[in-house]
Structure 1
Amino acid sequence: MRPSKRTLILEAALRVIGRDGVAGVTYESVAEEAGLTKAGLVYHFATREDLLHGVHAHIAGQWEASMTSLAGAPADQLSDLERLDAYIRTTTQSVTRAELLLLLDTAGDVTVSAPVTGVLNRWAPPPPGNPPLSDRQLTMLLAQLAADGLWLHEALTGTSIAPQTLQYLTEQIAELAGRYPEPS
């Protein structure tokens, strides 16, 4: 099955962002990358802001689908630990420079970043309150930060960690997160 033109455009925009940064996203650059006319692009995205919002929604949809698949259920049907495990496993396998650049560029714009923020709010554990933290809160937070750090390391440095090492680190982070079971 052929990808829709909309998906083709969003994937092209991600390639442009990965290569040229968010500032490089123009109708011309994305249309050329997608092999479409500028008019074909405008048909799907009336403004550049619509396109960037679409890219955010596309990324959020991919992350949500990955976490749902790994967890075997939507976030609202899972425990905190089950959601965190899927979050860790998705974060440590889903790394692109384009995602990082897009998130950094739009971090202050709550409207544009809303799709990604929504996914993170559904899947990452809520931030704990003030210290002292319970052992469970502390290990879950450390596991989330370790997964985020691994994602950031690969996105920033462009250095891929060997697949076996990445799998090992992912399992260690997931094990840390599950060290303290759900309270009964």
Structure 2
Amino acid sequence: MRPSKRTAIVEAVQRVIARDGVAGVTYETVAEESGLTKAGLVYHFATREDLLRGVQEHVAAIWEETMTALAGAPADQLTPQERLAAYVRTTPQSATRGDVLLLLETIGDPVTGAPISGVMNRWVPPIPGSPPLTDQQLRMVLAQLAADGLWLHEALIGTTVPADMRQYLTEQIAALIAQDR
């Protein structure tokens, strides 16, 4: 089955972001990358912000589907520990330079950044407001920060973590959540 034009456009935007950054996303660059006309792009995405939100929606849907499958249920049916464990196991596997650049550019915008913010709000428990933390709270905060760090590592450092090492580290991070002390 052929991917929809909308999906092809979103994937083209992702390639442009990975290559040229968010500033490189224009109707011209996306039209060239996707092989579509500017009019074809405008039909699916009326504004540049709509293009960026479309990519956010695409990435958010993939993360949500992956976490739901790993956890065996939607976020609203899980404990905070189960939600965070799914997040920890998903996040380090999905980082791309383009994802990082898109998030850095759009996460503060309440409209464009809403899809990813929504996923994060459903799956990642908020960090407690002030210390001291219980042992469980501390392990959960550290697990979240470690998973986020592993997610960013390759994009920021430019070196690849071998898949078996990434999996090992991910499981060690997830084990922090399950520890009973």
Task: Please tell me whether residue 111 in structure 1 is matched to residue 120 in structure 2.
Answer: no
Q: Which amino acid aligns with 1:136?
A: Q
Looking at structure 2, the residues matched to 94 and 180 of structure 1 have their Cα atoms a distance apart, in angstroms, of: 28
Per-residue CA deviation, residues 73-126 of structure 1 (Å, 9 max, x unaligned), is 110011111111110011110010011101111232121101100000100112
Which stretch shows the higher mean deviation, 102-111 or 166-175?
A: 102-111
What 5-or-longer segments of structure 2 have no aligned partner?
A: none
Alignment-mate amino acid for residue 25 of structure 1: V
Q: Residues 77-156 of structure 1: matches in 2 within 5 Å? A: 77-156=77-156
C-alpha offsets along residues 124-163 of structure 1, whole Å, 9 cap, x if unaligned?
1122131110000000000000000001111212311011
Give the corresponding residue for 2:14. 14
Q: Is the 8 A contact 2:88 2:173 kept in 1?
A: yes
Q: Number of aligned pairs?
A: 181
- With normalisation by structure 2, the TM-score equals 0.96
1:23 counterpart = 2:23: yes
- Cα offset for 1:34? 1.0
Query: Is there any run of 5+ residues in structure 1 with no aligned partner, and where?
Result: none
**Structure 1 segments of 4+ aligned residues over 3 angstroms from their partners:** none
CA contact (8 A) 1:97 1:158 kept: no
In structure 2, C-alpha distance between the alignment counterparts of 1:63 and 1:51, rounded to whole Å? 19
Q: Report the Cα distance in structure 2 between the residues aligned to 1:31 and 1:180, rounded to whole angstroms.
A: 53
Aligned equivalents of 1:117, 1:105: Cα separation in 2: 13
- Distance (whole Å) between structure 2 residues aligned to residue 44 and residue 180 of structure 1: 50
CA distance in 1, matches of 2:28, 2:140: 44
